[in-house]
Amino acid sequence: MPMALSEWTPRAQGLLRVVVSFLFLQHATAKFFGVPHVEGLDHVQLQSLIGAAGVIELVGGALVLIGLATRPAAFVLSGEMAFAYFMAHAPHGQGWWSPILNHGEPAVLYCFVFLFLAVAGAGALSVDRARGAA
């Protein structure tokens, strides 16, 4: 008998968690290790706003990737992305309500995906689930 579609939810949720956190971690690795190389992030100082963001991205992204303390880590990352949107993107373009014009779409998407994970949990294939904390 085939699995009901709802039985795939934890797997899809886990896959979303892994893919999004892998992509998100690249922001931290670009800042601190130059991989991938992003122009303008060559000499990020740890004791700067971008450096602090990089630390949050590195630690939080790694935790969410493996699914350990996913809910609190994702909540912090969601807040970081909301902060990034309103600080770095909303003042540009045609106002805060237009992410396509102020280039804030990735920040908004990350914010709401991490908020979803903070509420829904890690899903399948996570340390949280293995520990019974999902």
d(CA 103, CA 120): 28
Count of structural domains, the chain: 1
Q: In tens digits, what is the pLDDT along the chain, a chain of 134 residues?
A: 567 888 999 999 999 999 999 999 999 999 999 999 999 888 899 999 999 999 999 999 999 999 999 999 999 999 999 999 999 998 887 776 889 989 999 999 999 999 999 999 999 999 999 998 76
Place of tokens 């399948």: 124
Residue 96 domain boundaries: 5-130
Q: Which residues contact 70 (CB under 8 A, 6 or more apart)?
A: 17, 63, 64, 117, 118, 121, 122, 126, 128, 134
Q: Which two tokens stand for residue 70?
A: 């996913």
pTM as predicted:
0.92
